[in-house]
Amino acid sequence: MQQAQAQTMASAAGITSGQIQKNRILGSNSKPFVGIVLKKPQQVGALPLHVRGSIASSPWKLFSPKAAAPKSGDGIRIAVLGASGYTGAEIVRFLASHPQFHTKVMTADRKAGEQFGSVFPHLRTLDLPRLVAIKDADFSDVDAVFCCLPHGTTQEIIKSLPRHLKIVDLSADFRLRDINEYAEWYGHSHRAPELQEEAVYGLTELQRDDIRNARLVANPGCYPTSIQLPLVPLVKAKLIKLTNIIIDAKSGVSGAGRGAKEANLYTEIAEGIHAYGITSHRHVPEIEQGLTDAAESKVTISFTPHLMCMTRGMQSTIYVELASGVTPRDLYEHLKSTYEDEEFVKLLHGSSTPHTNHVKGSNYCFMNVYEDRIPGRAIIISVIDNLVKGASGQALQNLNLMMGLPENMGLQYPPLFP
């Protein structure tokens, strides 16, 4: 798509600041090894990145915001529990432009009685209800709930909610199917095992059919999202070996939440990078659960997360061993065929490198595959915004599905750069 055409479409769709960025891919003098880094590329060109279902086209083909706008008194009524945290604020930001979802209840026990704009001044222009304590929340006029509460607090609260509510839980409380494994990793017994049996894991692109019919969806963690999106299709297709999967992941500080912690002070974080949760991060069993399901046999990974001195963003660099007779190009082509019609998962061209800055504020996951210098191995890089595709954006994508709406509704935000 030429730049002038893209800008015309974007203007017609109401985008005033989004730009179609150009990416460098292998040149046209030879047939490129698309998506894989060649050891000796003949030429590098400058061609526009072409993606199907891009922000400049697909969302407005799926629905018209004007046509979808609810009539007075209509719409789906939403409660946001834990609205004073980062994921809660992101949910509220997306709901503000959603044509069908309307925020009716917002809870924050420590901020009860306050206006939301005083807690998050960047959203002070929104017309929102006052924050209330959960015990004072009235769910009689609510259809669906986003639960943005801390891990370990959600099970009993969700158990107490009316059964008519559709719920997307952003905590880890319902992600692990095995309640004994949950107790091992989270340090206490599961407090709602009967709900765990009905909970559906909500990695949208890979569990779409189950999510549509669910009442309770366990929204995936940020690291598991960035890792499973590239790995699950490759494991299912038996293109990589199940042993020696190594994942080096890095996250912005917002992933640690908004609570005051000494380890997250500016002087503790600035001008440095450090690993944490080495061999013991709680996302490990969640990732292994998804890969084990895909492989139909036990998968164990080596996973080390790192904290970066940036607000938001996540990169997972994944090292895999190829199955016999498989090439890095096979990995690329399989991921390409898996996600070519997806709105939010994009495989980059040629030697383009996914950057966290290129998905900031959006629900996108950018990824690419590279040939390793070690024969028989490949490197996969996957980036997301940890607060959006890694949390609130995917949660909204899931509730859209649960409510029978286009899953991209309210998520037509191009990435924010610089």
365 is catalytic: no
Measured CA to CA, the distance from residue 23 to residue 30 in angstroms comes to 18
Q: Is 270 left (phi over 0), alpha (psi -120 to 50) or beta?
A: beta
d(CA 176, CA 181): 7
CATH architecture of the domain formed by 223-384: 2-Layer Sandwich (3.30)
Under 8 Å CB-to-CB from 16, ≥6 apart: which residues? Answer: none
Residue 353 buriedness (CB in 10 A; 0-12 / 13-18 / 19+) = middle
Which amino acid belongs to residue 34? V
Neighbours of 15 (CB within 10 A): 18
pLDDT at 359: 98
* Catalytic option among 148, 222, 309, 365: 222
Q: Please list, residue by residue across 358-378, b when 16 or more beta carbons sit within 10 angstroms of its beta carbon and e when fewer do.
A: bbbbbbbbbbbbbbeeeeebb
Question: Quick check: 256 and 307 in contact, CB under 8 A?
Answer: yes
pLDDT of residue 154: 95
Beta-bridge partners for 162: none
* Predicted local confidence at residue 266, as pLDDT: 82
Please report, for the chain, the start and end positions of each structural domain, with discontinuous segments joined by +.
76-219+392-403, 223-384
Q: Looking at residue 62, what is its pLDDT?
A: 42
Q: What is the CA radius of gyration of the chain?
A: 21
What pLDDT sits at residue 268? 87
Whole-model pTM over 0.95: no
What does the pLDDT read at residue 83? 97
* Confidence (pLDDT) at 74: 63
Q: How far apart are CA 132 and CA 87, in angstroms?
A: 17
DSSP conformational letter for 26: B
Segment 297-301 long-range contacts (CB within 8 Å, at least 24 positions apart): 297/242, 299/235, 299/242, 299/245, 301/245, 301/246, 301/247
| Fold topology of 76-219+392-403 | Rossmann fold (3.40.50)
Q: Which residue has the tokens 């340090």?
A: 187
The pLDDT assigned to 261 comes to 76
- Ranges under pLDDT 70 in the chain: 1-74
Q: How do residues 19-47 score in pLDDT, each as one tens digit?
A: 333 333 333 333 334 444 434 333 333 33
Would you call 23 helix, strand, or coil by DSSP? strand
- Specify the pLDDT at position 18: 40
Instruction: Write out the H or E segment, with its range, that includes residue 22.
Output: strand 22-23
- With CA atoms as reference, report the closest residue to 381 among 369, 365, 390, 364: 369
